[in-house]
Amino acid sequence: MVETTVGIPIPMSEPDFASPSSINRRVFRGGFSTSICQIFRDPMRRTDCCAIACCGVLSSDRNRYLLFGELPPPLWRRLLMYLIIPALFVASLNYFAVEVTIPANGDSTSSYGNNDQKDDGDTTIKVAPLPLRLAFYAYLVFLGIRGRIEKRKTRREIMMKLYRERESARGEQVDPNQMAHYVHQHRLDVYRAHRSCSCCYAQDLPVDDNRGFGDEVEGDFCTRLWDCLSKTFWGGCCGCWCQCCSACAIAQEEREIERLTGNVEPKMDYITFEPFTDYYPAIQYLNENQIRSFVQHAKAISKLSVKLLQNLVAFWPSSFFLLYLTLTRTLRSQTWLCCC
């Protein structure tokens, strides 16, 4: 599998900084055009759900790809980091655990001591070695910090792009020192927006509330339900928004990136980032001309479809093998019972 983590993002249309929509738009904390709690506000926007699904991994990958051209790590590396290594830690904690006797008076002694002096009220528990537990906790902390650093880097880059947009709309030159100072002033907001669990992100009321450009849309039942929840729970905590796994911040960043890059209507999938225009015209041509050639249909499918088919082909032999082992063991056990 290719190890490359840098790709070429899809060329998107640059925003028109001189247009009225760029100059006279609502501005929230950090320069964003939407509130951090504006998720599920627009019924036509379906990408907000991607900020919640899989803890926002798909949305974060696409945001970094549109901003930096970075492809996400391969699937095997993610499975290794987030599944296999933690599973090995848990198995090691269980394997190397030793039994510890907790007497009724509260003093703990190892079970490898004098077992003849146990009282009837004593209890025995398994305890993993302290160095192994510390290593497991340190690894989990490392994964959390690594994810927070990547997300905060994305948010700072978006804020710098928004700063350049405002300065260009005013006809002024962008001063790198002032831009760095501006981002530094909002460092706490960047930090609080991407915490695993936080209730200290202050409500971001519009800094410049211009309501004459049709940015308010009519909501549906989901919008009203979210408004009720946000005002009851997330908005009533001392005037702060409560964040969970930075889902609201990821959705806010995705909305802003779509506006900045002109990708309001999704033009690529969330896995391979292949543009729809690269494969859909060929599929449409085959359908319109009633071409039934299997080879041509196989050549016209997307990269994501190819990967799904490859995974399916790789899954079938392993599933049949597991089914064979299960049936063999079941038949042997039934034969043994009949012989008895």
Q: 30-60: per-residue pLDDT in tens?
A: 889 888 888 887 777 777 888 888 888 888 8
Q: Which residue has the higher pLDDT, 337 or 61?
A: 61
Same domain, 248 and 180: yes
Domain containing 316 equals 286-339
For residue 100, being part of any structural domain is answered with no
Mark whether 272 and 313 lie in a shared domain.
Answer: no
Amino acid occupying residue 143? L
* Amino acid identity for residue 331 in this structure: L
Q: Which of 199-203, 214-218, 221-225, 285-289 has the highest mean pLDDT?
A: 285-289
120/183: higher pLDDT? 183
147 torsion bin: left (phi>0), alpha (psi -120 to 50), beta (else): alpha
Banded pLDDT at 120 (limits 50, 70, 90) = low
pLDDT score recorded for residue 239:
67
Task: Tell me the C-alpha distance between 136 and 41, whole Å.
Answer: 40
Quick one: 199 and 301 in the same domain? no
What is the structure's pLDDT at 102? Answer: 76
Mean pLDDT of 301-320: 84
In a domain, 239, yes or no: yes
Task: Give the separation between CA 190 and CA 247, rounded to whole angstroms.
Answer: 14
- Classify residue 50: in a domain, yes or no: yes
pLDDT of 155 above 90: yes
Q: Which residue has the higher pLDDT, 16 or 195?
A: 195
**Residue 157 falls inside a structural domain:** yes
Whether the predicted pLDDT of 79 surpasses 70: yes
User: Where does a domain end: 278, 304, 325?
Assistant: 278
Q: What is the pLDDT of residue 22?
A: 54
Check whether residue 204 and residue 184 sit in a common domain. Answer: yes
**319 in a structural domain:** yes
261: confidence class by pLDDT, cuts 50, 70, 90: confident
114 versus 241: the higher-pLDDT residue is 241
How close are the terminal C-alpha atoms of the chain, in Å? 53
Q: What pLDDT shows up at residue 112?
A: 47
User: Is the pLDDT score of 15 beyond 80?
Assistant: no
2: pLDDT strictly greater than 50 = no
Top-confidence range, 111-120, 151-160, 272-281: 151-160
Task: Mark residue 238 as left, alpha or beta (left: phi above 0; alpha: psi -120 to 50; beta: remaining).
Answer: left
Domain identity same for 194 and 252: yes
Beta-carbon contacts of 45 under 8 Å, excluding residues fewer than 6 positions away, are: 255
Do 178 and 263 fall into the same domain?
Answer: yes
**Residue 103 belongs to a domain:** no
The answer to whether the CB of 251 falls within 8 A of the CB of 42 is no
Average pLDDT across the chain, whole number = 78
Strand partners, 149: none
**Are 225 and 305 found together in one domain?**
no
**pLDDT classification of 4: cutoffs 50, 70, 90:** very low
pLDDT score recorded for residue 11: 45
Write down which residue in 278, 296, 316 finishes a domain: 278
31, 166: one domain = yes
Name the more confident of 288 and 11: 288
pTM for the model stands at: 0.72
- 211 and 335 together in one domain: no
268: phi then psi, degrees, rounded to nearest 5: -160, 165
Q: Give the pLDDT band (50/70/90) at residue 18.
A: very low
pLDDT of residue 254 exceeding 50: yes
Structure tokens at 198: 């936080």
Q: Is residue 122 part of a domain?
A: no
Name the domain count of the chain: 2
CA angle in degrees (0–180, nearest 5) for 205-31-190: 90
* Nearest residue to 234 (alpha-carbon basis) of 192, 203, 194: 203
pLDDT band at 87 (very low <50, low <70, confident <90, very high): very high
C-alpha to C-alpha distance for 226 and 96, rounded to whole angstroms: 47
Mean per-residue pLDDT, 255-265:
80
168 and 293 in a single domain? The answer is no
What pLDDT was estimated at residue 332?
A: 66
pLDDT at res. 92: 92
Work out the burial of residue 336: count CB atoms within 10 Å of its CB; fewer than 13 is exposed, 13-18 middle, 19 or more buried.
exposed
Is the residue at 263 inside a domain? yes
Same domain, yes or no, for 296 and 266?
Answer: no
Q: Give the pLDDT confidence score for residue 294 in this predicted structure.
A: 85
pLDDT of 10 above 50: no
User: Residues 187, 70: one domain?
Assistant: yes
Of 17-21, 150-154, 300-304, the least confident = 17-21
State which of 258, 278, 298 marks the end of a domain: 278
Q: What is the 3-state secondary structure (H, E, C) of the chain?
A: CCCCCECCCCCCCCCCCCCHHHHCCCECHHHCCCCCCCCCCCCCCCHHHHHCHHHHHHHHHHHHHHHHCECCCCHHHHHHHHHHHHHHHHHHHHHCCEEEEECCCCCCEECCCCHHHCCCCCEEEEECCHHHHHHHHHHHHHHHHHHHHHHHHHHHHHHHHHHHHHHHHCCCCCCHHHHHHHHHHCHHHHHHHCCCEEEEEECCCCCECCCCCCCCCCCCHHHHHHHHHHHHHHCCECCEEEEECCHHHHHHHHHHHHHHHCCCCCCECCCCCCEHHHCHHHHHHHHHCCCCCHHHHHHHCCHHHHHHHHHHHHHHHHHHHHHHHHHHHHHHHHHHHHHC
